[in-house]
A = this chain, B = another copy of it.
């Protein structure tokens, strides 16, 4: 009888248990543990696992695959605690949003012969909590990043890939540092920005005026402040350097935009027009070809025509703007010619 252990029976751990049970794996027992008695009781009542045990060492004893679905900050102590009970050849994976620090802890605490293969499912509602919100279908069709540590055995990697596929998700390999760099840009920075936008205005003189005037744009852009602050904290702290890198990059970009606003209107329009076209391509998945160039496209005649579908007024605008640019270009040229003559 094979054994899978799940430590942490919340929203993610509970959903993994339910999903694996629904997969009806042959000759496999799914054992679960959670620090919280109420979570253990709920997991038992909801049949999220085959068996709930009273401590993490008992859960991992004899397990071929150990899944850590606890808050990331708790992982170091947890790895230290379970290390003596892990069998040779066991695979340990996790579900945290940052991978580098956890991989370092694993390499520090896990004995030789035990493989760490980091995991990060891209699923779940940021404001959902607890096993009451868990679902066996949570990961269906979702992406699941897999970051094997350099010393992980092939069989451990296969074991984690098998779990991901049984849950209906699609595994994507990404080395831990690369994962954290990418996630800091597309996920952790946006969270930090959502909070910074809200906190900045909330702490401004006359906040009530701002709050009352706030419409859909502000609400949408600050919505992530509703998430669990301990999650945001853990993301920001466990992936600090990368988040700081992207904060610096965004500050540079905002400074560039600040200067752009001093340019003629047609330059500003050209930028926002390019952003709109590129965003439409992104939403359509058109520019995610690995071979595609990374530079933002300046709208050419064809893509401008595409953007015009959005608004007939835009057509007018593009023509006027293009005309103005051309006129200025001509003026510049004729001035150069005059200078050339002089």
Contacts and interface: CB of A to CB of B under 8 A. Distances in A.
A279 B283 CA distance: 29
Interface in A71-128: 71, 73, 122, 126-127
Given A187-B217, A190-B217, A251-B254, A208 B261 contact: no
Contacts of A201: 185-186
Nearest to A285: B211
Contacts of A71: 313
A140 to B, nearest CB: 15
A62 interface: no
A249 B202 CA distance: 12
Interface in A219-267: 220-230, 232-233, 236-237, 240, 243-244, 247-251, 253-255, 257-258, 261-262, 265
Interface residues of A, number: 108
Residue among A186, A206, A269 facing the most chain B CB atoms (10 A cut-off): A186
A197 B203 contact: no
Interface of A: 10, 36, 38, 71, 73, 122, 126-127, 129-130, 143, 145, 172, 174, 178, 182-183, 185-187, 189-218, 220-230, 232-233, 236-237, 240, 243-244, 247-251, 253-255, 257-258, 261-262, 265, 268-269, 271-273, 275-276, 278-280, 282-283, 287-290, 292, 294-296, 307, 310-314, 317
Given A200-B253, A229-B275, 20 more contacts: A129-B311, A129-B312, A129-B313, A145-B213, A178-B209, A186-B201, A186-B213, A187-B213, A187-B218, A190-B220, A193-B197, A199-B275, A199-B296, A202-B282, A202-B296, A208-B290, A214-B282, A228-B314, A233-B269, A244-B258
